[in-house]
Amino acid sequence: MGKGTKKWLIKLYDGRIKGPYSTSEVLSAISRGDFSGEETISLYPGGRWVPISQDPVFYDKLLEFLASDGAQVGFENLEKTASGVNEDVEPDAAVEEPPPEMAESSEPKVRQRRRGTAKKVTSAKDKTEGPSDSVKSNDVGDAEESDESDDDFDDDDVFELGKVDDIVRTKKAKRAILPIVVSAVAVCLALAYLLLSGSDSGQRTRLMAPREGQPAMNQNEVATLMVRASQAYTADTRSGYLQAQSFLVQAIEGDMRQSAAMALLCMTHLELWPFAYQDQADIKVVGRLVRLAGQADAGGLNHAACRVVQALVRGQILEAQTLSNLVLDSFAGSENPPTYFYYLRARILDVQREYASAARYAISAQQLWREWLRAYVLEAEMYEKQNQQERAATRFRQILDSNPGHVMSKIHLGAIEFKHFNHPEKAKELLKEALKVDRGAPNKSLSLAYQILAEIAVYENDGSRGLELAKKSYSLNSLNQESKALIEQLGGRVDDVKLKDQQLVFEGDQLLLAGEYSSAQALYKTAFELNNKNGMAAQKAAESLWRLGLSKDAISWLNKATLADPKLISAYVLLADYYAQQYNFEAAAKVLSKAKRISPRSYEVDRGYALVELRRNNPKGAIDWGTRAIKLYETDVETHVILARAYGMMGREPKAFENAYFHASQAIELDPSHREAQVVYAQALGDIQGIGTAISYLSKLVQAYPMVAEFSLGLAKVYSKDMQFDQARLVLEKLIQVADEPKAAYLELAKIYQAQEHFESARDAYLKAAVQDPADVEPLFYLGQLYLSINKPFDARTQFQRVKSLNSRYPLVNYYLGRAALLMNSPNEALEHAQLERRLNPKLADPYLLAAEAYTQLKQFNLCAREYQQAIKLRPVGAEIYVKVARCYRLSGNLDAATSMLDQAKARESGNAEIYKELGAVYLVRGDCSRANLAFEQYFVLDPNALDREQIEMKLLACGR
């Protein structure tokens, strides 16, 4: 049967079977990208199913598909053109923060690259061990003198993963020994790429994580994969990032110690994120890579790079900023500067709209890795955002000189050419070339391209075409206000534009990064309305709502998330945490129980249980669950922090402080930027080495990072613990002046004023804290306690009632309402509140103590004793409670029980004067004046200034002294 007469069946990744197709039809489909590489193929009829990439008939076409989507980049054109970079500056000179004058120097000329010249291939060592400086002027000259590539290939035909000769040799080897392992490796390369690429128009990319237990590779094979990955990565194209991802995954699978490959894969995922699904599966891939990097490079630069990337894709801009700053500060002046972190810092500054600083950091990244095209693109984008269009255009042109197929540069240069230089034809040509590449740029950039084309159409008096293009632009980015305005200007309606839920989620993420939570939640909600199966959209809406203080709405949306995607574990864990923060521990436990059934071995669920137990002041339970979680994921920073806090709460237990110190040390070793981990570490350090050590440690952190509120708060609390209230107050007053959200600082300041008996200042500070977040009842609760302490029960009751109206489950609010009632001589009301508190928190001793005092006022002494006994069972207590129980038994006439309670009190605290006072009262009731006299004498010895001495002496006289 000839090649053209064969028929094939195609089995898609979801099990559906299509065909039969002729060979030529299958080849055409591969060329169009209709098949993603996940399919298997079988001769029709009755053939054996095999992966499509392993069939010799289709292998060549797969290679052609790979080769057709990329253009080799001539980085020599950019090696000396970083704006303001002196040609004599070595890469290491960029370690310190780049000076402002860097961005002000004139642009040097760019050497043009000859078509068909071979690019110098950097060694694996240069690529994996540090920033490359291999492409210098003499190297470029050598490359231009030796024309090793085939003249039949021009720039657009060059395969980005290596030289064309390598591809040709691979093809020949495949034809000769396809069944042998050498060919299998090449096939795996192609297949791994295709599995990720997403071939349908507009199809998103699925991120890949390395699999454990794969066959090991020798170091030469791994180094070769690293070189190819670096070449593909630096080209800054979607296809290049997909190729880099494929090679890096293989390199890591071949050697799970390759933390450098893991860091580069994390950086690759950051660039692929706009093209990814951005769902739970992709987030898990990033998280898994962070775990692997932690195992291979715990606390190192490569692990840190992955953590910053994880923070950025999660929208945690402050965490990303803190860690990147810490790394850059730590390596200032180092001979091995942290290359990635200059770029990451530039990305963070871009989000924070500090464009000039971002450009300078991008320039530093260029100096450290001159072939890294993305750093030049970022610099140009920063000029564009500063309205420095000439400089931006110059840089984009230089990038296109180096890589004529660079889509992003064509789009941005096209926009500048039309809007600022009034060159519509030149702009149109650039934009149409850019849009020929399927998904060659993120949707935000594609939206810009269609927006400019729409404006050009209007400029050319083609309004209908302009409206069509404007709608296309808006569909790709609903945040594009210029497209929206253009649609309305041309008589269209934005409501008629069909939007995609995934795109809206991505746009919401951009707003979340910028702290625009209200706008973000609106986009997430719209995304969920478009696709009610998108649980991640509902979860992100909940997170935004929670940050806005809309806790009920947040919980409602998390419930929607779990219904939409029952396997979305992160939504269950977050929901449980939100319930716990509202003190609804029963609901939190139910949510986690459901998640545990779905994912029995999820460290996130076990960590969720640990956090809930910590919030309910059950350190033992937190330790039990945290220990389970850490066995599943030993480098999880959050779990180590929970364990450190829990052990710190159990200070009386053997080795509690040592265990707290161990877990806190582990946490900061894994992530030195973790703020809570640093504070917990300082506290543990103080518990072991003395409070002065903790003060010294935190003082250094505050000095280095004065804007980090957690460090100042931690220092103030340590000062307060050591009774250094004035020092604590100074720290907090400085923090309040600079903090964006000073609520916690006001709360701590109020407690200090209260401890110093500055009650009016304390009240004012509590009220200021309450104003910061009206939904948070904690300041009102503490204000109520303040009023109780100064004997203002009516004012206290008002505050506690406000707390209860906002959160009826707040711990001890009913207890304190009862205490206010006792001070107002309303014991029956106090009993009602005690009963309410008991229902909500049956394991707390406090409501039983309250009830006992209420029964004492009511002179129901048997019931008083019963309540005290219940409190003793629930909480270890000192001698004072036993004395109170004894008094109730004495007043109820049960003198033997009273004596027994006092004996237990003496066993716990024999020096407590109240024991002997009550014992004397018992003997007086018995009529045993001699023993009563001895007991009272001991009372006077222990309390020489007893105010009731005269009354007691009169009773002793009456007894027959």
Convert the pLDDT of each residue in 786-823 to its tens digit. 999 999 999 999 999 999 998 888 889 999 999 999 99
Amino acid identity of residue 275, one-letter, is F
Q: Which two tokens stand for residue 725?
A: 């209230």
The terminus-to-terminus CA distance of the chain in angstroms comes to: 127
Question: In whole angstroms, how far apart are CA 546 and each of 63, 501, 553, 861?
Answer: 49, 21, 8, 48
Report the C-alpha gap between 248 and 244 in whole angstroms.
6
Quickly list H helices, 671-724: 675-689, 691-704, 709-721
For 325-343, what is each residue's pLDDT tens digit?
A: 888 887 877 777 899 999 9
Q: Say if residue 100's pLDDT is above 60.
A: no
Q: Say if residue 80's pLDDT is above 70.
A: no
Report the C-alpha gap between 107 and 78 in whole angstroms.
11
Report the C-alpha gap between 69 and 171 in whole angstroms.
19
Q: Say if residue 865's pLDDT is above 70.
A: yes
Q: How many CB atoms lie within 10 A of CB 416?
A: 23
Determine the pLDDT at residue 33. 65
What is the pLDDT averaged over residues 465-482? 90
Q: Say if residue 109's pLDDT is above 70.
A: no
Q: Say if residue 593's pLDDT is above 80.
A: yes
| Crossing angle (nearest 10°) for helices 675-689 and 637-649 | 40
3-state secondary structure at position 780:
helix
Report the C-alpha gap between 920 and 942 in whole angstroms.
14
For 296-313, what is each residue's pLDDT tens digit?
A: 887 788 999 999 999 998
H or E element, residue 7:
strand 7-11
Please give the mean pLDDT across all residues of the chain. Answer: 81
CB 736 within 8 Å of CB 749: yes
CB 213 within 8 Å of CB 220: no
Q: In what order do the strands lie in the sheet with 50-51?
A: 17-22, 7-11, 40-43, 50-51
Q: Scanning the structure block, which residue is given the tokens 């009842």?
A: 777
For 866-915, what is each residue's pLDDT tens digit?
A: 999 998 888 777 889 999 999 999 999 999 999 999 999 999 898 899 99
Burial class of residue 166, CB neighbours in 10 A (0-12, 13-18, 19+): middle
The fraction of the chain above a pLDDT of 90, given in percent, is 51
Q: Say if residue 954's pLDDT is above 60.
A: yes
Q: Is the pTM of this model over 0.75?
A: no
Determine the pLDDT at residue 645. 94
H or E element, residue 11:
strand 7-11
What is the pLDDT averaged over residues 693-700? 92
At residue 9, φ and ψ (nearest 5 deg) are -100, 140
For 250-280, what is each residue's pLDDT tens digit?
A: 999 999 999 999 999 999 999 999 998 887 7
**Which residues, including other chains, have CB under 8 Å from residue 696's CB and lie 6 or more apart?**
none
For 442-460, what is each residue's pLDDT tens digit?
A: 889 999 999 999 999 999 9
Task: Please tell me the least confidently modeled range out of 155-164, 264-273, 434-443, 527-536.
Answer: 155-164
Q: How many CB atoms lie within 10 A of CB 914?
A: 20
More confident residue, 106 or 742: 742
What is the pLDDT averaged over residues 180-188? 40
What is the pLDDT averaged over residues 534-563? 92
3-state secondary structure at position 263:
helix
Task: Please tell me the least confidently modeled range out of 64-78, 419-433, 848-862.
Answer: 64-78
3-state secondary structure at position 276:
strand
H or E element, residue 40:
strand 40-43
Q: How many CB atoms lie within 10 A of CB 150?
A: 14
- Alpha carbon of residue 404 to chain centroid: 37
Q: Say if residue 636's pLDDT is above 50.
A: yes
What is the pLDDT averaged over residues 31-36? 66
Determine the pLDDT at residue 62. 58
Categorize the per-residue pLDDT at 184 as very low, low, confident or very high, splitting at 50, 70 and 90: very low
Categorize the per-residue pLDDT at 11 as very low, low, confident or very high, splitting at 50, 70 and 90: confident
